[in-house]
């Protein structure tokens, strides 16, 4: 079991686009959206994944992620997921020794841009890139499982 320690922010401008080292297309859906734990199916580029996440405890939660066959992921997104499938492009930005994941949402969430940083401890100090705005860590309105 791994621990995910993550902070999440709204993005205020598009300067991250020129700063990005790579971009990948992601589609994801949820088999379970329970507050105590979610089960997510994701297609990232040409690979499929299933991820189970525990309940948030501040900025930390348990996480298990496994690669699964792409065709299985496609079928699960179509047949087993509840709600709408999230469609987004993830920009990877290296800034001051940290990796930021900036998600640009499409479809019904067009216009939403959120940046996340994964940390090794909850009290870790880091610099904010210029495109970072309001912190929304812990705000369930911005959980992917609620979008």
pLDDT at 92: 98
The model's pLDDT over 66-108, given as tens digits with 9 standing for 90+, comes to 999 999 999 999 999 988 899 999 999 999 999 999 999 999 9
pLDDT at 71: 98
Within 10 A of 33 (CB to CB), how many other CB atoms are there? 17
Rg of the chain (C-alpha set): 15
Which residues, 6+ apart, have CB-to-CB distance to 79 below 8 Å?
Answer: none
CA atoms within 13 A on the CB side of 34: 8
pLDDT at 119: 95
pLDDT at 35: 82
Q: Which of 9, 30, 95, 98 is catalytic?
A: 30
Helix (H, G, I), strand (E, B) or coil at 68: strand
Q: Which segments of the chain have a pLDDT < 70?
A: 1
Element (H, E) at 15: helix 15-19
pLDDT at 1: 61
Helix (H, G, I), strand (E, B) or coil at 119: coil
b (16+ CB within 10 A) / e for 110-143: eeebbbbbebeeeeeeeebbebbeeebeeeeebb
Residue 9 is a catalytic residue: no
| Complete domains list, the chain, with CATH | 2-146 (2.40.320.10)
pLDDT at 20: 98
């Amino acid at each position: 079991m791994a621990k995910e320690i993550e902070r999440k922010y709204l993005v205020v401008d598009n300067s991250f686009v020129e700063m990005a080292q790579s971009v990948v297309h992601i589609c994801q859906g949820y088999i379970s959206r329970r507050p105590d734990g979610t089960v997510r199916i994701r297609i990232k580029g040409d690979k499929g994944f299933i991820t189970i996440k525990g309940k948030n405890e501040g900025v930390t939660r348990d996480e298990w992620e496994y690669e699964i066959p792409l065709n299985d992921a496609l079928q699960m997104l179509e047949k087993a997921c509840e709600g709408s499938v999230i469609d987004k492009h993830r920009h990877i930005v290296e800034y001051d020794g940290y990796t930021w994941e900036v998600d640009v949402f499409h479809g019904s969430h067009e216009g939403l841009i959120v940046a996340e940083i994964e940390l090794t401890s909850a009290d870790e100090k880091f610099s904010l890139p210029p495109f970072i705005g309001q912190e929304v860590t812990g705000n369930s309105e911005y959980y992917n499982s609620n979008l």
